[in-house]
């Protein structure tokens, strides 16, 4: 399946989660078996020979892709969650958003120093969350192999906030 076909399966939802926002809904892509398989296959083709130790999914839509990709790459899977969701000892980081701050957490023993970690999420917007995730992984001694996204909203310039880090996105809007 061509990338243009995948892009057409991503639904626009106007005024969500607030007026003036056009939300890119990936549920229409992942509900199509061929499109979901093609999405995972594109990532597998890219990362197959990169010696990825673990694939980290960012809460919550990143989990969808991380599990399938980790399985296909014969890698472990990690999760980063919002505060209060992880049961064991954790490390957290607080980061700035356009209006205020947010925090994310990971188990403190999730990453072994030197492991190559692929970070994946459904969408790159402003880059704040993924930048914080990368910093968190590196603080545990992990090596960020790449930041991967199904969708990138180019007009929000999230790449600029993530400058210096390798980034790959399948579909651009």
Catalytic residues: 61, 98
- Answer whether 150's CB lies under 8 Å from 170's CB: yes
Task: Give the residue carrying structure tokens 């989990």.
Answer: 63
Strand residues in the chain grouped as ranges (E): 11-14, 22-25, 54-58, 76-80, 90-97, 100-107, 116-124, 143-152, 167-172
Q: In whole angstroms, what is the distance from residue 33 CA to residue 64 CA? A: 13
Peptide bond into 60 cis (omega under 30): yes
Spatial neighbors of 43 by CB under 8 A, at least 6 apart, are 65, 69, 120, 148, 170
Closest CA to 27 of 10, 42, 15, 40: 10
């Amino acid at each position: 399946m061509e990338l243009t076909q995948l892009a057409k399966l991503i639904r626009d939802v106007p005024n969500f989660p607030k007026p003036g926002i056009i939300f890119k809904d990936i549920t229409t892509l992942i509900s199509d078996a061929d499109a979901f398989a093609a999405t995972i296959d594109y990532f597998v083709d890219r990362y197959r020979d990169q010696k990825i130790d673990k694939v980290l999914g960012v809460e919550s839509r990143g989990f969808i892709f991380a599990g399938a990709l980790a399985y296909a790459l014969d890698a472990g899977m990690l999760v980063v969650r919002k505060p209060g969701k992880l049961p064991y000892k954790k490390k957290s980081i607080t980061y700035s958003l356009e209006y205020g701050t947010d925090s994310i957490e990971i188990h403190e023993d999730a990453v072994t120093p030197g492991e190559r970690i692929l970070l994946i999420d459904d969408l790159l917007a402003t880059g704040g969350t993924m930048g914080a995730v990368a910093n968190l992984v590196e603080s545990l001694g992990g090596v960020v192999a790449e930041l991967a996204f199904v969708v990138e909203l180019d007009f929000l310039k999230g790449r600029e906030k993530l400058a210096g880090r390798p980034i790959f996105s399948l579909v651009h809007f």
